[in-house]
């Protein structure tokens, strides 16, 4: 417990520092925030435009598709909020400053993964939460057990996202490459803005069970709609935990291959 409290205090100090750096130029921060908002609104408008031409898409109504997108946006934003430090990992490796993270009495993984939250993502979070609650309440007769499954799978989606970011960090150690890897990750995850049911086989199965974007983004919304069985919910949670464990093993292997700046 003392260790956890120490990590929380360190994370808070790093987050405050990150906020101060990000808000040094308020104009740039404002432009970036507006860009995030516009990107969200444009894709929402894209979905609405599609449903002016058709009543359903892969069996889902326009309201359901919008909820899929809002649920995706919430998972993605929380992950970006906490894991923004991953985008700044490559300079640590190239410059050798990662050596200092290894010798400090703190997990180097936590330092590289959650070294400071992003205030711009924090600004979008209340909008997404309010939109998810409002839209989810208009889906129809939602049972309490479905809400519980949604929350569990939502947390499971964050666990899977954590695993993906750990893989990016491991790749950064093994190949000193992070920028392209994180962009590839962003492109793959963006396919989860709509339910994976839209895609044809074998892409649908690959995105669900091999690269578990479907479990991360699609399954929470399906659980709230009552379209996911309890057994599939349990399987999804087990898959998410297994994926995280595999990613941690890759990280530990990458550490054994790390060559410090002094070696």
* Tens digits of residue pLDDT in 84-137: 788 888 888 877 788 887 887 778 888 888 876 777 777 778 888 888 888 888
Domain residue limits at 61: 2-256
Helix ranges (H only) for the chain are 2-22, 26-50, 62-82, 89-95, 98-103, 108-113, 119-137, 144-175, 179-190, 203-205, 213, 219-224, 230-256
Residue 28, classed as helix, strand or coil, is: helix
Give 247's contacts (C-beta < 8 A, 6+ positions apart): 162, 163, 164, 166, 167, 170
**How much is the average pLDDT of 179-198?**
83
| Averaged pLDDT of the chain | 83
Assigned domain for 231 exists: yes
Percent of the chain exceeding pLDDT 90 equals 21
Q: 195: how many CB neighbours lie within 10 A of its CB?
A: 26
Q: What is the pLDDT of residues 14-23, one digit of tens each?
A: 777 777 766 6
Assigned domain for 111 exists: yes
Assigned domain for 247 exists: yes
Assigned domain for 73 exists: yes
Assigned domain for 67 exists: yes
- Predicted local distance difference test score (pLDDT) of residue 22: 66
State yes or no: pLDDT of 263 exceeds 70.
no
Assigned domain for 262 exists: no
- Predicted local distance difference test score (pLDDT) of residue 224: 92
- Predicted local distance difference test score (pLDDT) of residue 222: 92
Query: What's phi and psi for 60, nearest 5 deg?
Result: -105, 145
Q: 187: how many CB neighbours lie within 10 A of its CB?
A: 9
Tokens of residue 41, six digits: 């609104």
User: Which pLDDT band holds residue 41 (cuts at 50, 70, 90)?
Assistant: confident
Whole-prediction pTM: 0.87
Assigned domain for 261 exists: no
Q: How far apart are CA 153 and CA 223, in angstroms?
A: 8
State yes or no: pLDDT of 206 exceeds 80.
yes
State yes or no: pLDDT of 149 exceeds 90.
yes
**How much is the average pLDDT of 170-189?**
81
Assigned domain for 172 exists: yes
Number of domains in the chain: 1
């Amino acid at each position: 417990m003392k260790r956890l409290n120490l990590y929380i205090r360190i994370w808070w100090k790093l987050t405050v520092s990150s906020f101060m750096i990000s808000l040094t130029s308020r104009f740039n921060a404002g432009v970036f925030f507006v860009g995030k908002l516009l990107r969200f609104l444009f894709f929402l408008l894209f979905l609405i435009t599609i449903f002016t031409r058709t009543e359903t898409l892969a069996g889902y109504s326009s309201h359901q598709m919008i909820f899929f997108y809002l649920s995706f946006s919430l998972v993605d934003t929380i992950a970006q909020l906490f894991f923004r430090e991953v985008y700044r990992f490559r300079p640590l490796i190239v410059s050798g400053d990662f050596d200092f993270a290894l010798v400090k009495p703190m997990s180097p993984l936590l330092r590289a993964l959650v070294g400071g939250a992003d205030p711009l993502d924090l600004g979008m979070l209340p909008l997404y939460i309010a939109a998810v609650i409002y839209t989810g309440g208009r889906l129809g007769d939602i049972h309490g057990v479905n809400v519980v499954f949604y929350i569990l799978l939502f947390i499971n989606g964050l666990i899977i996202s954590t695993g993906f970011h750990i893989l990016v960090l491991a790749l950064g150690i093994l190949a000193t490459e992070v920028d392209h890897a994180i962009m590839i990750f962003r492109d793959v995850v963006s396919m989860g803005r709509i339910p994976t049911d839209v895609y044809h086989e074998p892409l649908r199965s690959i995105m669900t069970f091999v690269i578990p974007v479907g479990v991360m983004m699609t399954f929470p919304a399906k659980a709230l709609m009552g379209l996911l069985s309890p057994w599939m919910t349990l399987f999804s949670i087990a898959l998410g935990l297994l994926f995280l464990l595999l990613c941690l093993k890759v990280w530990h292997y990458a550490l054994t291959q790390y060559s410090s700046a002094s070696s």
